A = this chain, B = another copy of it.
Amino acid sequence: MSSANAIAQLQNQGHRITTARRVLLEIFDASRRPLNAQDINQALTRQGVKVNTSTIYRELQFLQKQGLVNPLQLSTNQLYYESAQLPHHHHLVCDSCGSIDPVECHEVESPLRRLETRVNQTGFTITNHTLEFYGTCAGCR
């Protein structure tokens, strides 16, 4: 269970381990797909933990600053986050039901690195990229 690592890391840096924070880390640890503030609210409620919305937003920013979660902006109007511990991957987003699932993209990784090298030589330093696929999932067809 790697939320334990995250907790140890935060404790070492003098941050407090509150119930909200601990359960939130466990939720990210258990989820293989990105979560938005609303998803997290529901997950917390399901576990019997009541947390104010503003606390959730603050906590997400905090965890991002600590490098424990990564933000993910999709073509929706909500910001998603996922565990930073997941191996590099991209996403399949269903335009119909909104489901978001990870995809391994081994075919594109080395071409992407090649492209990034080329672009870096033009003066633009790439630090990050987003690659998401939109369409219709098996269940919605």
**Interface mask (A56-81 → B, CB under 8 Å = 1, otherwise 0):** 00000000000000010111100000
| Copies of this polypeptide in the complex | 2
- Chain A residues in contact with chain B, CB under 8 A? 71, 73-76, 92, 94-95, 101, 103, 105, 107-108, 111-112, 114-116, 118-119, 122-138, 141
B92/A119 in contact, CB under 8 A: yes
18 more A-B residue pairs beyond the given contacts A73-B76, A129-B132, with a C-beta to C-beta distance below 8 A: A73-B74, A92-B124, A103-B115, A107-B114, A107-B115, A119-B133, A122-B138, A123-B137, A123-B141, A124-B133, A124-B136, A127-B136, A129-B133, A129-B134, A130-B131, A130-B132, A130-B134, A131-B131
